Amino acid sequence: MLTPNATAYAFTTPVRHRARRIATDQLPHAASKPSSSAEQFSHLGGRDLSLEWHDPGCLLPYERNPRTHSRKQIEQIAASIREFGFTNPVLIDGEGRIIAGHGRVAAAKLLGMDRVPTIRLEHLSEAQKRAYIIADNRLAELAGWDEALLAIELRYLAEIDFTVELTGFATAEIDLVIGRRSSRPNLIRRTRLRNPIAAVRASCGPAISGCSTGIACSAAMPAIRPALRL
């Protein structure tokens, strides 16, 4: 069993857990108004999480971890740690086995780090640990992107000469995202005078692509109004 090589640091906000299945009807309903957040999550049990520092070489990888990490991705994680710091602690069990953070540990070894922040999750059962190893990766994959906002953020980073590839996007992907968002205004400008209705459809996107009535939605009026004044 690992022993921390530095003083444990308690987070200011306690995170509460309980190692048992929670039925849907036990979760708080929107209609109920608990007197405090502590009362709302009291059914999860109580446990303060603390930060411990360990040599990454002493942490044990989970031998059946289904998530893979290529050498290129580990190098990308290492570059991220070098730029931003080790901001995401590794999750381990009571024996020092890694539950979440295999890629970060590999990157720390690549960088020659002699200690990394960890959080010990001793309350999880063996089944829960095996499930969480999968869920921690899979749930993140299910998120999406707002491409308009993503293009704005990537363009900003590029304009200030930040190394945008540290975001995890390759140069070709960055160009594609920014270019895709920039092409729609160009399409509107090209079609504005030639075909006002086409300008409406270009502005509104696929939501009204099948419209044949020629009725402009309010969102498209700025694009079509100059053509209507002719």
Which class is domain 9-141? alpha beta
Point out the least confidently predicted range of 34-38, 97-101, 197-201: 197-201
Q: pLDDT tens for residues 154-210?
A: 999 999 999 999 999 999 999 999 998 775 544 434 434 445 555 445 445 544 444
Q: Is the pLDDT of residue 15 over 60?
A: no
What confidence score (pLDDT) does residue 51 get? Answer: 94
- Tell me the residue type at 133: I
What confidence score (pLDDT) does residue 183 get? Answer: 57
- Report the alpha-carbon distance of residue 224 to residue 197 in Å, rounded: 8
How sure is the predictor about 33, in pLDDT bands with cuts at 50, 70 and 90? low
- Report the alpha-carbon distance of residue 32 to residue 34 in Å, rounded: 6
> Which residue bears the tokens 């190394």?
163
Q: Is 93 helix (H, G, I), strand (E, B) or coil?
A: coil
Percent of the chain with pLDDT over 90: 56
Residues paired with 116 in a beta bridge: 54
State the chain's mean pLDDT as an integer: 75
Cβ neighbours for 168, distance < 8 A, ≥ 6 positions apart = 76, 80
Q: pLDDT tens for residues 127-139?
A: 999 999 999 999 9
> Which residue bears the tokens 């390759």?
170
- Report the alpha-carbon distance of residue 185 to residue 223 in Å, rounded: 9
- Kindly list the domain boundaries of the chain, sorted by start residue: 9-141, 147-228
Distances (CA, A) of 102 to 43, 125, 136, 220: 31, 20, 12, 48
Give the residue among 153, 176, 184, 148 at the shortest CA–CA distance from 166. Answer: 153
